[in-house]
Amino acid sequence: MRVKLCQDDPFGGAPSRAEIISFWRKQLEGIPAITSVDIEENFTPDRADEIAADYDILLGAWIADDLFDRAFFERHPNLKYIATFGHGFGKFDHQAARDCGVTITNTVYGDMTIAQFAMALLLGICHHVETESSYYNKILDKNMSFRAVPGVTTRQIELYEKTIGIIGLGSIGLWMARMASGFGMKVIAYSRHKREGEKYSFVEQVSLEELLRRSDVISIHCPLTDDTRGMISAQAISRMKDGVILINTARGAIIDETAMVDALKSGKIYAAGLDVVTGEPRHDRSPVFDCPNALITGHIAWAPAEARYRTVRIAVQNMRNWLAGNPTSVI
């Protein structure tokens, strides 16, 4: 089987694109069914037909809304396996994929990684560590006594005994719940389906309405679907506590950004920690970037080297399982 591997390097740094590709080749070596592996700089939906060409396996595709439809599968009859390297995915024609014998998988590589980044955004809002460090250094550079001036320049917030509401209690949401619990927070959560099992026993599962009403912090970990698009609307925000903290490492379009900006300006939302915004990948500023109480990063929660190497190992294992007739992580 011929494999097309789409592997970009958006940041540079470590590990480099060359290092990741070398790791891919080592992981793919010795799989008898694979006859060739060709590398693509990256995958963009507008070039999907060109990239897929006559390949049997496409690794690293973005599952953009409505890209993979019946016509696409019929244009590429050799294509039988598609893997996205992310947790999330857009809409595609499930029935057409089944009819055409195409298996599509995602790669759940970073549940703890993304939750850790969500917690980092929350702690950044609560403690402003870099700002305080810079302030202390400036004082010492001026040979001033630290005790002669206010020792804290930012509001410090303690998480202990506050309530965090987690929207989406999948693997990432559960890790966020565990981390928040470790800080002594009361954890409540809303998921489309109630989660059963001992591992959820410390989480109080509630309705979305109750979560919005009770939470001091709200952290979003659900997929972007027709049902969740714009879920955090002006009406939803109006039902939140005054001064709520909002964290989003899922998808930008889950939040009505205009409503969030209004709430950030009014103080209804004390601060927002966002690794995702509407309209990614962005090439210009939107009003949320001008809110001083919005802490925004460029969709980098997935980026640690450990997570990137784990992505390769999991994606290859998923593909091996499919080749063996036991597909895993099928979407």
Domain range annotation of the chain: 2-110+305-323, 111-296
Domain 2-110+305-323 has CATH 3.40.50.720: yes
- CATH fold match for the domains 2-110+305-323 and 111-296: yes
Q: Which residues, 6 or more positions from 301, have their beta carbon under 8 angstroms from its beta carbon?
A: 110, 113, 114, 117, 118, 249, 275
Report which of 224, 215, 266, 269 is spatially closest to residue 249, judged by C-alpha positions.
Answer: 224
CA dist., res. 251 & res. 27, Å (int): 30
pLDDT at residue 190 in the model = 98
The H-assigned helical ranges of the chain are 17-28, 48-52, 70-75, 94-99, 111-127, 129-141, 171-182, 208-214, 234-238, 257-266, 305-323
Average pLDDT of the chain to the nearest whole number: 93
pLDDT, residue 148, reads 52
**What number of H helices and E strands is found in the chain?**
11, 12
Q: What is the pLDDT of residue 149?
A: 52
Please say if the pLDDT value at position 96 is more than 60: yes
Q: Comparing 254 with 223, which gets the higher pLDDT? A: 254
Instruction: Read off the pTM.
Output: 0.88
pLDDT in tens, 8-38: 766 666 788 889 999 999 999 989 999 999 9
Fold classified for 111-296:
Rossmann fold (3.40.50)
Encoding tokens for residue 325? 């007739």
Share of the chain above pLDDT 90, in %: 78
What's the whole-number mean pLDDT along residues 99-125?
96
The SS3 of residue 20 is helix
Give the pLDDT confidence of 227-241 residue by residue, as tens digits.
Answer: 999 999 999 999 999
* pLDDT tens-digit map of 123-160: 999 999 999 888 888 877 776 665 555 567 899 999 99
Predicted local distance difference test score (pLDDT) of residue 9: 65
pLDDT at position 296 is 97
Asked if residue 314 lies in contact with residue 107, where contact means CB atoms within 8 angstroms, the answer is yes
Give the per-residue pLDDT at 146: 56
The backbone torsions φ and ψ at residue 92, rounded to the nearest 5 degrees and listed phi first, read -145, 170
Q: Which residues are marked as active site?
A: 251, 280, 299
Residue range 70-90: average pLDDT?
A: 93
What's the token pair of residue 104?
């599509």
Residue 188 reports pLDDT greater than 80: yes
Task: Note the pLDDT of residue 144.
Answer: 66
- From 185, 234, 231, select the one nearest 208 (Cα to Cα): 231
| 92 SS3 class | coil
As a whole number of angstroms, the distance between CA 326 and CA 237 comes to 44
Residue with the larger pLDDT of the pair 308 and 179: 179
Which range of 58-67, 135-144, 159-168, 294-303 scores highest in mean pLDDT? It is: 159-168
Q: Is 116 exposed, middle or buried (0-12, 13-18, 19+ CB in 10 A)?
A: middle
